[in-house]
Amino acid sequence: MKKIPLHYQILIALIVGTFLGFLFNPGEITLADLSLTASRSETGYQVIEKYAGDQQKEYEFKDRNELVANYPELAKLFAMGELEKPVTVEVNQRSIHIVDSVKKVTLTYTRSIDQKMVVTSYSASSGEELVKKYPQWETDYFLFGTGLSQKVMVISKWLGDLFLRLLKMVTIPLIVTSLITGIASLGNATRFGAMFSKTLLYYLFTSLLAISTGILVVNLIRPGIGAELPGGSGVLSSGRESVGSIFLDMIDRLIPTNIIHSLGAGEFLSIISFSMLAGIFIILVGGKHAKVLTDFFQAGFEVMMRMTMFVISLAPIGVTAFMIYAVSSQGIEIFKTLGWYMITVSLALLIHAVVILPCLLKFVAGRSPLQFAHAMSPALMTAFSTASSNGTLPLTMTCVEENAKVSNEVSSFVLPLGATINMDGTALYEAVAVLFIAQAYTGVVMPLPDQILVAVTALLASIGAAGIPHAGLVMMAIVLQAVGLPLEAQGVIIAVDRVLDMCRTSVNVWSDSCGCAIIERYRGPAASSNST
């Protein structure tokens, strides 16, 4: 029987995974309306939850922080004073969605207060810890958080993660052998310099294009005007880092003090800079020593490529598992609240991916965008399902070299560096998300100088973000800080981050691949014949 080509296998996996994900999505759990009464007590604060039929539950908190962590909707009450008198708020249209993955339980709580939808995420490392930290969720968690759907979610996440581990296993040896072989085969160090500057120029140019597209679309659609953004408990980063310190830290990481440690810790930037230097100095040393080392790394590269092909053949399983997890773990209710925001991010990403980058492909690289996209489809679909450009790197390299016929000289250089610092999708996302938050908080469109500040910090944040799931959201803290917005605003958008992460990761990988086609065209004649 003829084997189905890999890209179709992955496509089928995407569809089957999505279908099963919907089938096992536990959906939202609707809860009864309640009224919350908060007051001072002898030991601190007391909250009484009152349900229909005169049922009630009481909780004690020793201080205000603890109270607000459990009931963020009560934070506003403190604005009126220290709760001298008991205050009551009515909370209705309540629903929760629970995601129990292997290492983390997240409960998303949606409700309406004063006719405004408010969403909060509560996370803990296990169900037990969740109910210890947030006692008010105990009954709901044990009723809804331990069913079949949750088990399917846990198993599919675990299977998907196994596939990602396999990919990560081959990534570092592949980068090292491929970069050294690629650079050594350039034959002289000047050619390396020329290629390096063209590549950086491409990264910068496309990231800025992506950010401009995002800013344009978010200003046209204005998804944040009129949207209610509550404080949430889902802050991902302490936000202590400033733009400057992140930048300096990146420069530090370019010079590893102990390369063995960097290899062990998987520090991409350090590994890339060391491998580049090794490649350059192999060229400079030349002669018989250079030959021994080039042959050695070439042999290593061939073996790693074969191993990568084997791992890639498992992609359909990994992709199915990731899709089941991604779809079953999404609450549907939240999409309604953040619908316009998601449409804005997706539309801007789409314009960048299907209009701007293909134009560059056609007019600068002289390639057919459709054929190129077809060649890259296994990598793009894997990036979509795993939300990790580092994880997808082995696939991206294979597709660029084997299917799109770009030389190893170019791909070995443009792709690993690109997976770390060239993230068009992430840069665009940072800009749109922060401007959305600003619109929601202030009710008006941000002034132009501030938007420019957002664009610059979004660029730096995307350069600093690692190619792993949710990295963009973590880095957003520096952009929010730069324009003085509260980090808590992230609390809501975390709930829909996985879907947007999947989309922006595909765009990140697509941009790196298009970069290969462009650099390939302008790299000049090959110096030697040992490129793959």
Choose among 250, 192, 218, 232: nearest CA to 107: 232
Which residue number is nearest to ligand ASP in terms of Cβ? 472
Choose among 381, 395, 501, 398: nearest CA to 12: 381
User: In angstroms, what is the minimal distance from the CB of 171 to ligand ASP?
Assistant: 12
Instruction: Give how far the C-alpha of residue 90 lies from the chain's centroid of Cα atoms, to the nearest Å.
Output: 36
Could you tell me which residues come within 8 angstroms of residue 495 by beta carbon, excluding any fewer than 6 positions away? Answer: 108, 119, 121, 234, 331, 334, 338
Could you tell me which residues come within 8 angstroms of residue 376 by beta carbon, excluding any fewer than 6 positions away? Answer: 396, 399, 400, 403, 404, 509, 510, 513
């999404």: which residue's tokens? 330
The DSSP string of 255-316 is S-S-HHHHHHHT-HHHHHHHHHHHHHHHHHH-HHHHHHHHHHHHHHHHHHHHHHHHHHHTHH
376 vs 465, beta carbon nearer ligand ASP: 465
183 vs 376, beta carbon nearer ligand ASP: 376
Q: Which stretch binds ligand ASP (CB under 6 A): 105-113, 122-130, 209-217, 386-394?
A: 386-394
416 vs 467, beta carbon nearer ligand ASP: 467
Q: Counting contacts by CB under 6 A, is residue 394 touching ligand ASP?
A: no
Q: Counting contacts by CB under 6 A, is residue 269 touching ligand ASP?
A: no
Give the tokens for residue 37. 């009464």
Q: Counting contacts by CB under 6 A, is residue 387 touching ligand ASP?
A: yes
**DSSP-based three-state secondary structure for 45:** strand
Which helix (H) or strand (E) segment holds residue 34: the answer is strand 34-40
Which helix (H) or strand (E) segment holds residue 414: the answer is helix 408-421
User: In angstroms, what is the minimal distance from the CB of 437 to ligand ASP?
Assistant: 16
CB of 177 within 8 A of CB of 301? Answer: yes
User: In angstroms, what is the minimal distance from the CB of 463 to ligand ASP?
Assistant: 12
46 vs 377, beta carbon nearer ligand ASP: 377
Q: Counting contacts by CB under 6 A, is residue 426 touching ligand ASP?
A: yes
Chain residues 468-497 in contact with ligand ASP, contact rule CB under 6 A:
468-472
User: In angstroms, what is the minimal distance from the CB of 473 to ligand ASP?
Assistant: 6
Q: Counting contacts by CB under 6 A, is residue 206 touching ligand ASP?
A: no
Could you tell me which residues come within 8 angstroms of residue 6 by beta carbon, excluding any fewer than 6 positions away? Answer: 312, 313, 315, 316, 378
User: In angstroms, what is the minimal distance from the CB of 288 to ligand ASP?
Assistant: 41
394 vs 467, beta carbon nearer ligand ASP: 467
User: In angstroms, what is the minimal distance from the CB of 237 to ligand ASP?
Assistant: 13
Binding ligand ASP (rule: CB under 6 A), the pick from 70, 120, 377, 508 is 508
Q: Which stretch binds ligand ASP (CB under 6 A): 15-23, 191-199, 296-304, 460-468?
A: 460-468
Classify burial at 33, counting beta carbons within 10 Å of its beta carbon; exposed 0-12, middle 13-18, buried 19 or more.
Answer: middle
Binding ligand ASP (rule: CB under 6 A), the pick from 388, 422, 457, 481 is 388
Q: Which stretch binds ligand ASP (CB under 6 A): 5-13, 197-205, 295-303, 500-508?
A: 500-508
150 vs 513, beta carbon nearer ligand ASP: 513
| Interface residue list for ligand ASP (CB under 6 A) | 387-389, 423, 426, 465, 467-472, 501, 504-505, 508
